[in-house]
Chains A and B, each alone.
Chain A
Amino acid sequence: MKKYRVIEHTADIGIEAEADSLEELFEVAAEGMFSFIIDPSLVSEVERRHVEIDAADLEELMFSWLNELAYMLGADGLLLSRFDIERVATTRLEAMVWGEPIDPDRHRDAEEVKAATYHQMAVEKREGTWLARIIFDV
């Protein structure tokens, strides 16, 4: 099981995600973030990137993972539609991500997510389910 829902925030937007495993939690968090950016069906899997993140703790790992994706969007104009976490522990993550560079015509409706924030961030396991809450700066 992995899913997310959008949560209200005065200035920006957030998600609450749930998954059975930590891998799936990080995947669905990325899917949730990109749901604000573009309809995934509009993104072809033309490019693939390998991502490695090191962090001091799980929250920083989530923060750095999502900001790495935001960086690829902001710097390279890369839209992503699929995320596969190959390996994740408290302080390290390795993943493969797929997508394509923004096409100004086909992706005219793309909206920017500038960064994931620590605001009200939570990454925890409760009763066997992994949960995360992340608020984004848009």
Chain B
Amino acid sequence: MENLKQVSEYKWEMNRDYKPGMRVPGTIYADMELVRLAERDRALEQVANVAFLPGIVDRSLAMPDIHWGYGFPIGGVAAFGKDGVVSPGGVGFDISCGVRLVKTNLDEADVKPSLGELVAAMAANIPKGLGVRGRIHSPEGVLRKVFTGGVKAVVSMGYGRESDLEYLERGGVCREADPGKVSARAYERGKDQLGTLGSGNHFLEVQVVERIFLPEVARAFGLHEGQVVVMIHSGSRGVGHQICTDHLKVMDAVVRRTGLELPDRQLGCAPLGSREADDYMAAMACACNYAMGNRQALMHWTRHSFERHFKSSERKLGMDLMFDVSHNIARMETHESNGKRTELCVHRKGATASFPPGHPEVPRAYAQTGQPVIIPGDVGTHSYVLVGTPEAMTESFGSTCHGAGRTMSRSKAKKTISGSELRERLKAQGIIVMAGKDSQLAEEAPEAYKDVSRVVDVCEGAGLSRKVAMMRPLGVLKG
């Protein structure tokens, strides 16, 4: 592994000779084995490619769950100063894919006996899969409201409570949004998808908190051992994908026009402050609002499903929103760079914000503890809640991992893993899975992913975040 040096147990430096043309070095947060995996699937080359981009500040970063993506690796973080760029590849097609965690005051014994029916009730309530229409009819007028108002708009439509807004990144609204910058195409794709789970690795999971690592923080988050919680992993659906496709095309033309040499076409970008960059940021914010609104609707139906199943009310069941994070996004943030506080465009693609106590972005409820970070596991494996740290601000622009990251292609997983056998294996562990085809389930098998526990341990070891709670799945609704 030439031009890669291990500088501490969980930190590797990639010097600029790794690939001539790098403007800055790279840093990979990983242990030895994760670095080897990253080199094998050529994700490290992508870390190097990102370093070619103009205006990149400090270094091109990689989280331990890094794997090959489009342009930027998934698990990639990069920040740009005012002479820098914004790049849709640094955000991803599923803009603002993210995770939310909903609390309950139930414990495993309350849920276990009728788990199958509960999961079935949620399956009946929540639209998922391809071509399935959402339950919220959203013609252009409604979409404009959601693109502008995010969760606030969705709550005003009757989905959830005003108080939910206090437990969201940015209060549930990205204010830079401009629905005029979203194409007609994206509106078409959005009109039937609001309140749908999606497919691929999206899921809705009933979990039980198995272990608490930081009791004080857990208490502030409202989590305790034995508690049943619900995790929702979903994104901006067709809207985000269309916006990414639309703006990649525009940025392509910008790159051609300016003659910028890029090692990968998918790193198409535009200079910050240019019309093309501003248009993308405004459209991306719409997708972010749509994604958060989507998760709000999914939570609403989850609450309803629990209400009907337990013949109670969501308030009596204590179904409060713990938090919601996006892990595919680019934002203007203030960071300290070379001793100065500067506005940077921070790209997190498959990485989550990990802000410390007292950070202005952290909701009031968590000001003393720092931001909750929600890490979804894979089918049948543990998920985590982490908390942000001051070190993350100096190490990684306030960022940490997002999940486990794939190690095996979908086609290989379908060939080598039996979906039905996996279903049986999970059933033997007491986990109920509602998924479509067995082959779709096979694609999401834990063997096809890195070990999420290890990824989370590396982030802790590197100081990027700290473990607060670990959850075990009870029932999964797979998209």
A residues lining the B interface (CB < 8 Å): 6, 8-13, 56, 59-60, 63-64, 67, 71, 73-77, 102, 104, 107-112, 114-115, 117-119, 121, 137-138
Contacts and interface: CB of A to CB of B under 8 A. Distances in A.
Interface string B256-281: 10000000111010000000000000
Contacts of B265: 59, 118, 121
A56 B188 CA distance: 25
A109 B436 contact: yes
Given A75-B238, A108-B436, A111-B199, A10 B406 contact: yes
A121 B268 CA distance: 14
A55 to B, nearest CB: 9
Nearest to B186: A75
B32 interface: no
Interface string B51-80: 000000000000000011111001000000
Contact of B249 (A60, A77, A121): A60
B242 A119 contact: no
Nearest to A55: B249
Contact of B241 (A6, A9, A137): A137
14 contacts: A8-B409, A10-B41, A10-B67, A11-B74, A11-B409, A11-B410, A60-B249, A71-B188, A74-B241, A102-B131, A109-B437, A111-B199, A112-B200, A138-B410
Contact of B185 (A71, A77, A109, A137): A71
Contact of B407 (A6, A8, A10, A77): A10
B253 A111 contact: no
Contacts of B408: 10
Q: Which 7 A/B pairs are nearest by Cβ-Cβ distance?
A: A102-B131, A77-B131, A112-B130, A75-B188, A74-B238, A118-B265, A8-B409
Contacts of A9: 68, 409
A42 to B, nearest CB: 13
A109 B129 CA distance: 10
B95 to A, nearest CB: 12
Given A73-B131, A119-B70, 20 more contacts: A9-B68, A10-B67, A10-B409, A11-B68, A11-B74, A12-B409, A56-B253, A60-B252, A75-B188, A76-B188, A77-B131, A111-B440, A112-B130, A112-B199, A114-B238, A115-B93, A117-B266, A119-B264, A119-B266, A138-B200
A121 B248 CA distance: 14
A6 B70 contact: no
Contact of A118 (B68, B248, B412): B248
Contacts of B74: 11
Interface residues of B, number: 41
Query: Max chain B CB contacts within 10 Å: which of A6, A13, A121?
Result: A13
Interface of B: 41, 67-71, 74, 93-94, 130-132, 185, 188-189, 199-200, 238, 241-242, 244-245, 248-249, 252-253, 256, 264-266, 268, 406-412, 436-437, 440
A6 B411 contact: yes
B131 A13 contact: no
B132 A104 contact: yes
Contacts of B71: 119
Contact of B93 (A6, A59, A114): A114
Contacts of A112: 130, 199-200
Nearest to A108: B436
A67 B246 CA distance: 10
A5 B241 CA distance: 25
Contacts of B41: 10
A73 B241 CA distance: 13
A115 B406 contact: no
Contacts of A64: 249
B127 to A, nearest CB: 11
Contacts of B249: 60, 63-64
B242 A117 contact: no
B67 to A, nearest CB: 5
B130 A102 contact: yes
B252 A114 contact: no
Nearest to B256: A56
A121 B265 CA distance: 9
Contact of B242 (A56, A71, A111, A121): A71
Nearest to A37: B130
A102 B74 CA distance: 32
B441 to A, nearest CB: 12
A108 B407 CA distance: 28
Determine which residue in B69, B74, B256, B268 has the highest number of CB atoms from chain A within 10 A of its CB, and name it: B69
A138 to B, nearest CB: 6
Contacts of A6: 411
Contacts of A67: 245
